[in-house]
Amino acid sequence: MDEFERVARAAVAEAGERLRLAWRESKVIQYKGPVDLVTDTDRELEALVVSRLQREFPQHRIVAEEGTASGADQGRRSQYVWYLDPLDGTTNFAHGYPSFAISLALADGRDLLFGIVHDPIADETFVARRDGGATLNGEPIHVSLVGELDHGLIGTGFPYDRREHVDFYLGFVADFIKSAQGIRRKGSAALDLCYVACGRLDGFWEWKLRPWDTAAGALMVREAGGIVSDFRGGPFDLHGEQTLASNGPLHPAMIEVLTKRLDHPGQL
C-alpha cells in the first residue's frame, strides 16, 4: 500500500500544480451534452495521471472520466482498479470559479483501499486509507457531531439531466430547505464528500454520480467516522444512482426526507 500511495500522491501533486496554474488561463471548451462540458485541461491532467499509473502499475485497471483509459480496455484483468476524475468541478473551472479538485482512488475489487482529493486553489489535500483514518494536509479529520437535521448544513448537486427533470430534483431540495439549517451546492461532489468527512458539511446527497466522482470521497467519509449509503440506507454502490453521506447521527433523518419523496412523488 505504501508504494501505491507514494505514486498516487506524486501523480496528484504534479497534476494539481498544473491545474493551479491553468485555472486563470484561457480554456478550450467542448460540450459532451447541454450542460456537460470538458476542457483541454481535463484531458491533459487525465493523460498525465494515467501515464504515471500505467508506467508504475501496468497490470492495474484504470477507470477515468474522459476515457483515456477504461475498465475494459487493453484486456486488463487485475484485482486493483484506479478511479480517476482529473478535474471534478469542470464547469466551475471553466468559469474561473475556485471550487474544483483532482480525485483518485484505488480499489481491490469492490473494496476501496485508498483515496486522495486535492484542491489546488485552497491548497488542501484530503487522504484516506482503509482502516487507517482520514486526514487533511496530514492532520486527522472527523465528521461533525451535529445530531439534529434542523441544525445541519447539507450539500447537494444536480445531475446532467437536470433540465429534463428539474421539478423532480428540486422537490428534494425543497424538502431539505424545510428540514435542514442550510443547503449548499459547491459543484464538486468529491469536495462535498470531503467536506462531510472534515465536518464542514453535516450531510450530502446527489443523484447519478459516477465512480470517479465518489470513490475517494466515499472512503474519506467512512474513515472519518461517517456513513455512506443509497437513499434508503442500503449499501452504497459506486455504480449506482444514489449517493447519501452523513456524519452518522443525521443519516436516519436524511433517509426519511429522501424516501418520503421517493415513495410519494408529486404528492408533497
For residue range 174-212, list pLDDT tens digits in order. 999 999 999 999 999 999 999 999 999 999 999 999 999
Same structural domain for residues 249 and 131?
Answer: no
Q: Give the model's confidence band at 74: pLDDT under 50 very low, under 70 low, under 90 confident, else very high.
A: very low
Residues 7, 136: one domain?
yes
Q: What's the confidence (pLDDT) of residue 70?
A: 46
Q: Do β-strands 37-39 and 29-31 pair in parallel, antiparallel, or remain unpaired? A: antiparallel
Q: What is the pLDDT of residues 22-33, one digit of tens each?
A: 887 766 666 655
Domain assignment of residue 240, yes or no: yes
Last residue of a domain, one of 140, 169, 184: 140
Q: Are residues 190 and 81 in the same domain?
A: no
pLDDT score of 73: 45
Is residue 71 domain-shared with residue 179, that is, in the same domain? no
Residue 173 is placed in which grid cell?
A: 431540495
State residue 121's pLDDT score: 96
- Structural domain count of the chain: 2
Q: The domain that contains 53 carries what CATH number? A: 3.30.540.10
User: Do 135 and 100 lie in a common domain?
Assistant: yes
Mean pLDDT in the chain? Answer: 90
Q: Which residue has the higher pLDDT, 109 or 73?
A: 109
Residue 30, domain member (yes or no): yes
Three cell numbers, residue 49: 495521471
User: pLDDT of 32-60, one tens digit each?
Assistant: 556 455 678 888 899 999 999 999 999 99
Domain co-membership, 127 together with 165? no
Confidence of residue 264 (pLDDT cuts 50, 70, 90): confident
**34 found inside a domain:** yes
Of 134, 123, 105, nearest in space to 13 by CA? 123
% of the chain with per-residue pLDDT over 70: 87
Confidence of residue 78 (pLDDT cuts 50, 70, 90): confident
Q: Counting Cβ atoms within 10 Å, is residue 246 exposed (0-12), middle (13-18) or buried (19+)?
A: buried
pTM for the structure as a whole: 0.92
Same domain membership, residue 127 and residue 24: yes
Listing from the earlier edge strand, what are the strands of the sheet with 153-156? Answer: 182-184, 153-156, 203-207, 242-246, 227-229
What is the reported pLDDT for 167?
A: 82
pLDDT higher at 139 or 66: 139
CB-CB neighbours of 48 under 10 Å? 18
Summarised one tens digit per residue, pLDDT across range 141-172 is 999 999 999 999 999 998 766 566 678 889 89
Within a domain: 268: no
Last residue of a domain, one of 117, 140, 163: 140
Give me the domain span that covers residue 51.
2-140
